[in-house]
Copies of this chain bind each other. A is one copy, B any other.
Amino acid sequence: MEGKTLRPVVTVRLYTDRKCFGPGIAALLRRVERHRSLRAAAMDMGMAYSKAWSILREAEQGLGFKLLHTTTGGKNGGGAALTAEGARMLEAYERFEAELKAEAETLFTEHFSEFIKDIQE
């Protein structure tokens, strides 16, 4: 058998009455922060603008607060920026996700030592 390494992949999503936050919206918001535009953020991810809008709308409706505020007009047809609550939400999600993934690595080594060894042999 070729050397294959077994590894965990952990996905964290947040729900209220619906899915409202996860890796997709987090990546999108991080890019909005950089590009100051939802359209540019979507493009940077290879995501359709309409998809970005629908993810954002679902997230905001699920959370019950705005993640972005948009400014209309200007030479780029308006920009986008994270609301204060949106920025704190993104920070909280990223810290939560990073700490949980670190914990997953520890727990994985504990529970799967037999299989990590078997598969690599």
Any chain B CB within 8 A of the CB of A4?
yes
Given the known A-B contacts A96-B108, A99-B107, A114-B88, are A6 and B14 also in contact in the complex, defined by CB atoms under 8 Å? yes
How far is A15 from B7 in the complex, measured between Cα atoms in Å?
Answer: 5
Assuming A92-B111, A96-B107, A99-B107, is B5 touching A9 (CB within 8 A)? Answer: no
A111 to B90, CA, bound (A): 11
Of the residues B6, B9, B64, B100, contact of A104 by C-beta under 8 Å = B100
* Interface residues in chain A, defined as those with a beta carbon under 8 Å from any beta carbon in chain B: 1, 4-17, 19-20, 62-65, 85, 88-89, 92-93, 95-96, 99-100, 103-104, 107-108, 111-112, 114-115, 118-119
